[in-house]
Chain A
Amino acid sequence: KQEVTQIPAALSVPEGENLVLNCSFTDSAIYNLQWFRQDPGKGLTSLLLIQSSQREQTSGRLNASLDKSSGRSTLYIAASQPGDSATYLCAVYGGSQGNLIFGKGTKLSVKP
C-alpha cells in the first residue's frame, strides 16, 4: 500500500532564505506526483505536476524534482517571502483512475 511521508512537519525560516521540502513515497511505481499549497481553512492550490518520465518541473520561484527509483521528491522554494507561508502537500497518483495519495504536509512559516 502506497504511503507518502513529508519531512519536516513544520519549518520556520526568515524571509529571503532558500528552502527545501521533502516528500517520500514507498512504492516507486507511480504515474505522477503533484505538489499543492493549502492556506488555513482553504482548498488546495496546485503548484506543480511532475510526470513520471520527468525529473523536475519549474514554476517561478518553485522547482520540484522527482527521483522515482529512490521514492523521493523535493520542492525547492527560492528567496522565500512571508506570502509563501502555508502548508505544502505532496501527493502521488495511485489507482487506475488516478486518485491521489497525500502526505500530511509541511507547514511553512516565513518570518519578515
Chain B
Amino acid sequence: EPEVTQTPSHQVTQMGQEVILRCVPISNHLYFYWYRQILGQKVEFLVSFYNNEISEKSEIFDDQFSVERPDGSNFTLKIRSTKLEDSAMYFCASKEVNTVTYNEQFFGPGTRLTVL
C-alpha cells in the first residue's frame, strides 16, 4: 500500500543551523502539507502546497521556513536558522484531491528535530 515517507527519522542540530526535512508523498497525490507537534502539545498546521506554490500557511510559518518541491517526488521543509523552540516532531502529509466530499490526508512517520 502506498505511503508517505520522511527522512531523516531523527535530526539533531545546533541552534542557528539550517536544516532540511524531506518527504516523499504518495505518488498520485496533488496536495502536500507540513505539520509539527511540540512534545506534549497538539499537532499544528504549518503550510499547504499545491501546483508548485504555497496555498495556505499558519502564523507559525514565518520567514525562517520555506518549502519546495525540487523534483517530481520530493517535498522539503527548510528551516533557515533553527531556534530551540523549533524542536518538535515534523509531519508531512499528502492527499489526492481537494473536494468538500473527500479530503483524507495521509501522514508520514515524522522527523524528530532536536535543536541544541
Contact = CB atoms under 8 A, between A and B. Distances in A.
Interface of A: 31-32, 34, 36, 41-46, 49, 51-53, 89, 91, 93, 95-105
Contacts of B58: 99
Contacts of B25: none
B105 interface: yes
A52 B48 contact: no
A34 B91 contact: no
Nearest to A89: B43
B45 A46 contact: no
Contacts, number: 74
Contacts of B45: 95, 99-101
B108 to A, nearest CB: 6
Nearest to A98: B103
A49 B103 contact: yes
Given A95-B56, A97-B98, A98-B98, A104 B110 contact: no
18 contacts: A32-B103, A43-B107, A44-B43, A44-B91, A46-B106, A49-B103, A49-B104, A52-B100, A91-B43, A95-B45, A97-B56, A98-B103, A99-B33, A99-B56, A99-B58, A100-B43, A100-B45, A102-B43
